[in-house]
Amino acid sequence: MGATEAEKEKTGKRYRIELSRASIFLWSTGLFVLLAWIFTLGVLAGRGLLPGVVETLTEVKAQIAKLQQMINKRDRSEIEEIRALQKDPKFAFFDELSAKKGEAEKPSGTPGGKPATPVVKQEPVVPPSPAVKYAVQVASLETEAKATNMVNRLTRKGYPAYFYKVFVKGREYFRVRCGTFKTEAEAAKINKRLAEEEKLIGFVQKVESN
């Protein structure tokens, strides 16, 4: 039990660089005093008031260079420690988990996050071809009354008779027909029957029916 808790503590260990306000104030104050001292020495040296000021300035510069090297070494060592922790296989799992989470959050579809619109292929609409049927034209009469009488007479005898109006060279006619029939043979049979029984000489004609 104790070994497991110790491993968890090692796994959860993180390195952070924290500077308190007091330490920042002390470092700032020390740097300010050092710069003021260098400025004062420079002014005095320029006026020739300090003997051996060149050697002093050289020593000061050397001390500043050493201080900068120490700070740089400390920063580099801390950066290297952080990089070493990132390369640690114990923490690689968190990097893989973050990468997978980012891939899962990517929106699917077209670029820009817009959903893909399905393309529906529309087939061309072909109008149905009209069915060809047949009828027997019996007569073409000049008045509607004559056409009505003939249609009534044929209908009473069981013929599918009707009439319709047409204009030929500006004149009005009423044509009487029987039908329609699916085949030309059926229409020819009715035409023959009309000729024998009703003494009406007609002819078979193609008609279009939707």
pLDDT tens for the chain, 210 residues: list them: 445 555 555 555 555 556 677 778 888 888 888 888 888 877 776 665 555 555 666 776 777 777 777 766 665 666 676 666 555 555 555 566 666 665 655 555 555 555 566 666 667 766 666 678 999 999 999 999 999 999 999 999 999 999 999 998 999 999 999 988 999 999 999 999 999 999 999 999 988 765
Could you give the strand order of the β-sheet that contains 131-141, starting from the edge strand earlier in sequence? Answer: 161-168, 171-181, 131-141, 203-209
Two structure tokens written together for 135: 């009828």
- Give the Cα separation of 146 and 176 in Å (integer): 10
Give me the pLDDT at residue 210, please. 58
Pairing assessment for the beta strands 171-181 and 161-168 based on DSSP bridges? antiparallel
Give me the pLDDT at residue 100, please. 61
| pLDDT digits 0-9 by tens, 48-86 | 555 555 566 677 677 777 777 776 666 566 667 666 655
Q: Which residues of 81-103 are buried (b: 16+ CB within 10 A; e: fewer)?
A: eeeeeeeeeeeeeeeeeeeeeee
pTM above 0.75, yes or no: no
User: What is the distance of C-alpha 96 from the center of its chain?
Assistant: 29
Q: Which residue has the tokens 């050289």?
A: 58
Give me the pLDDT at residue 30, please. 82
User: The domain 131-209: what is its CATH number?
Assistant: 3.30.70.1070
